[in-house]
Structure 1
Amino acid sequence: MISRYLIPLALSMAILLSNSGSVLAENNSTYKLASGDVININVFGEPDLSFGEVRLNDAGIFSYPFIGDVRAKGRTAAEIEQILTERLKGDYLVDPRVSVSILKYREFFISGEVKTPGGYPFQPGLTLRRAVALAGGLTERASEKRITIIRDQSPGRTPEPATLDTIVMPGDTITIDQGFF
């Protein structure tokens, strides 16, 4: 009698977990790494070549045994997997199976008319509205219409107009100006 209820529950949980994993994989597949990101490197069956936390330095580089420095800035986790696999194959391992995942994203920054300006940890799916909530909310003088964002990945790093529904990315700098009364 109990098993009659457990099977549909188990199937529902499996579907939910598989869907959430694909969303996370999709976000990580296009995400470009940069200084401040923390990644996990796992080489199947090789504990000496697996690292729980690797923080990218100011230049977006990390050091790896037998290989030396690996430039991760501007590359995706999948591209880093491919680089490590190619460099480990042959001289060190016959058929390396490497996985790279992002443990912590670099911070975004919010300033201006918020109660607690500063840097905050990025979370996938973050909107400007949620970023403002993390910063303690808007002050009484804040303008919801005079918001700019400077994208970390933007080549010109010029401020762009934004709304509270704008998606925030790691490394972005958000400024909320005063409203005129």
Structure 2
Amino acid sequence: MPRTKQTPAFFRLITGTLLAGTTLAGCTSSTHNPNLPVGAAAYQVAPATVPAPSVYAITPRDVLQVRVYGEPDLSVEKAMVDDAGFVQLPMAGPVKVAGLSAAEATRQVTTLLGSKYLRDPQVAVSVDVPAPRYVSVEGEVKMPGVYELNSNMTLMGALAKAQSPSVTAKLDEIVIFRTIDGKRMAARFNLKDIRTGISPDPVIMDGDIVMVGYSRIRGLWQDFLKMAPIFNIFAVISTNS
């Protein structure tokens, strides 16, 4: 009797490819760096809690309100701090305010106006609109991009802004890049541990970059699943009499 022989050659090919990918995935990853601090050391770079500053430091792109009592022509309702940290004021000209508290900026403007133009000026400087803060989320997330920070945003909140990690993400290789005292720093976190409460959720700071690693084997498996309906691997490949 003739007998039909099924030869799942394509399945063997894909299996071999996935096995090869497993070997590669065990050796490399887009964010794998054995020198990056992990575990408790990572939280020295990106702590789970950041103490609230006792005073707010003025930064570029803050919008200030500067009032000189009795001198409406010298008052400014909306004065934006430029990227160099200066604010332009009538008569006083450019005044460096970045890094100062509102009280310190008030004393500085008072001194400038009192030394040249006014006798005993009464000045009040306040932050009307704080500058927006941003985090960049890259790598294996559904919507990579730059997002505005909410107050006290954590790593999980930043990932939620990017529509969460993709199916090909390597959840134990989430890297946060941060500039601390002018130095570029990085630390690696395990999102699985954070989600389950084993590890705390680190706070995200202005200018942070979050990079989500790529799982090569999961990527190959996803490619296989996309290809399988096209090739219909369970169909008869060949027949022999």
TM over 0.5: yes
Q: Cα–Cα, structure 1 residues 28 and 89, in superposed 2: closer, same or farther, change >3 Å?
A: farther
Give 1:54 deviation, angstroms.
0.9
Q: Cα–Cα, structure 1 residues 29 and 129, in superposed 2: closer, same or farther, change >3 Å?
A: same
TM (norm. structure 2) is: 0.52
Counterpart among 111, 114, 124 of residue 86 in structure 1: 111
Give the whole-Å Cα distance in 1 for the aligned partners of 2:168 and 2:120. Answer: 63
Give the whole-Å Cα distance in 2 for the aligned partners of 1:131 and 1:74. Answer: 26
Give the whole-Å Cα distance in 2 for the aligned partners of 1:176 and 1:114. Answer: 7
Counterpart among 83, 89, 92 of residue 64 in structure 1: 89
Relative contact order higher in (CA < 8 Å, ≥ 6 apart):
2
Greater C-alpha radius of gyration: 2
Greater strand share, 1 or 2?
1
Give the whole-Å Cα distance in 1 for the aligned partners of 2:119 and 2:188. Answer: 50
Instruction: Write the deviation string for residues 16-58 of structure 1: whole angstroms up to 9, x where unpaired.
Output: xxxxxxxxxx55725462x4x322223154554223251432x
Q: Are the counterparts in 1 of residues 57 and 98 from structure 2 also a CA contact under 8 Å?
A: no
Counterpart among 148, 157, 163 of residue 130 in structure 1: 157
Spell out the pairing of 1:98-113 with structure 2 (5 A cutoff): 98-101=124-127, 102-113=129-140
Q: Are the counterparts in 2 of residues 40 and 51 from structure 1 also a CA contact under 8 Å?
A: yes
Give the whole-Å Cα distance in 2 for the aligned partners of 1:151 and 1:77. Answer: 26
Instruction: Write the deviation string for residues 99-156 of structure 1: whole angstroms up to 9, x where unpaired.
Output: 3214232322221122222221222211111111112221112233212222244422
Aligned residues between the structures: 153
Give 1:77 deviation, angstroms.
4.3
Q: Are the counterparts in 2 of residues 109 and 119 from structure 1 also a CA contact under 8 Å?
A: yes
Letter in 1 for 2:65: I
TM (norm. structure 1) is: 0.66
Q: Are the counterparts in 2 of residues 148 and 175 from structure 1 also a CA contact under 8 Å?
A: yes
Counterpart among 169, 173, 177 of residue 205 in structure 2: 169
| Secondary structure class of the residue paired with 2:183 | coil
Q: Partner residue of 2:174?
A: 147
Further displaced range: 171-180 or 126-135: 171-180
Give the whole-Å Cα distance in 2 for the aligned partners of 1:153 and 1:93. Answer: 42
Q: Which ranges of structure 2 fall in alignment gaps of 5 or more residues?
A: 1-51, 195-200, 218-241
Calculate percent identity across the aligned residue pairs: 24
1:95 aligns with 2:121: yes
Give 1:84 deviation, angstroms.
2.5
Q: Cα–Cα, structure 1 residues 153 and 60, in superposed 2: closer, same or farther, change >3 Å?
A: farther
CA RMSD after TM alignment: 2.9
Spell out the pairing of 1:23-42 with structure 2 (5 A cutoff): 27=53, 29-31=55-57, 33=59, 35=60, 37-42=61-66
| Secondary structure class of the residue paired with 2:185 | coil
| Secondary structure class of the residue paired with 1:81 | helix
Letter in 2 for 1:96: Q
Give 1:167 deviation, angstroms.
0.9
Q: Partner residue of 1:178?
A: 214
Q: Are the counterparts in 2 of residues 29 and 78 from structure 1 also a CA contact under 8 Å?
A: no
Letter in 2 for 1:166: P
